[in-house]
Amino acid sequence: MAATKGEFALINWIRRQSTFGKNVIVGIGDDAAALRPPKNGAVLLTTDTILEGVHFNFKTVTPFQAGWKAIASAVSDIAAMGGVPEYAVVAVVLPKDASMKFARRLYEGMRSVADRCGVAIVGGDVTSWRGKLAVNVSVFGKVDGRPITRLGAKVGDAIFVTGDLGGSVRERHVEFLPRTREALALRKAVRLHAMIDVSDGLAADLRHIVEESGVGAILYEEAIPVSRDAEILARRGGKSAVEHALGDGEDFELLFTVSNRDAGRLLSGPPFRTRLSRIGEITARGFYIKKKTGGRVRLNPSGYEHFK
């Protein structure tokens, strides 16, 4: 007789909801998933963990949204390397008092965004403890040609970012759509030199590119695409809207560099409808922001860090 509650009942329920592509040899329900490797290019593999109380709070976020964020934040890493996400393996640590309804809604959030991104959830693990919810997601993807990394920015490159920045804590940090389509469109349109997704914050993530590439950078304050959420938070005091855009993080937008020639192509004919902004330039050294009022100041790579 099939169990109606508990770990195995949940796994069986998830298995019944799942569908896989032709390249999945063994999916959910066995000791491991089995996949056919891509014929060309490279395999991409990333892992990401979200924790209740750190990355979200159930006072403002639903189980569905928590599940969505768990998958979407990991998929965003594949997009940042110009790849195509294909499979996900999920490890869920549930609170001891979590109900079956809670667990199902969590999975439904995962499945919803995974379907939108063309990702099959092929396996994982379910356990519980006396602490809060924790979810770890590993995403497998593929890339034709070379992956786009943080190493590759060149002096004279233009710096671009997709979308709007800052204030993601109001809503956008949980139910966002990873920029996978935009990343692929950019790869087809121009030669990307370096790219990263904005998870820690614009300044902090640009600093990653600068350090890996051995260059400097200058941002133009007036060109930074500030979100309405950042403006709302700024009116409440403490930081300006630009400061929120520079340091809030969890925008999950694409930050990348291209040659000036390719920058002109993107500005004259963007390959997608998502907002695209030229926000700065790669320099030989230094890390600055050019103020709207003139002059420049050293840029503080603010952003979230788990260890300080």
Rounded to 10 degrees, the C-alpha dihedral 280/281/283/289 comes to -10
| Entry pTM | 0.88
**Start and end residues for every CATH 3.90.650.10 domain found in the chain:** 158-298
CATH of 7-143, one of 3.40.50.620, 3.30.1330.10, 3.40.50.300, 3.40.50.2020: 3.30.1330.10
Q: Which two tokens stand for residue 71?
A: 């998958």
- CA dist 191 → 131, 148, 159, 254 (Å): 46, 10, 13, 15
CB atoms within 10 A of CB 297: 10
Phi and psi angles of residue 6, each rounded to the nearest 5 degrees, phi first: 95, 180
304's CB contacts (< 8 A; 6+ apart) are: 200, 201, 204, 249, 250
Tens of pLDDT, residue by residue over 11-55, are 566 566 656 666 665 555 555 556 677 777 788 888 899 999 999
Region(s) of the chain under CATH 3.30.1330.10: 7-143
Domain range 158-298, its CATH number among 3.30.70.270, 3.90.650.10, 3.40.50.720, 3.20.20.140? 3.90.650.10
Q: Model confidence over 102-125: pLDDT tens digits?
A: 999 999 999 999 999 999 998 889
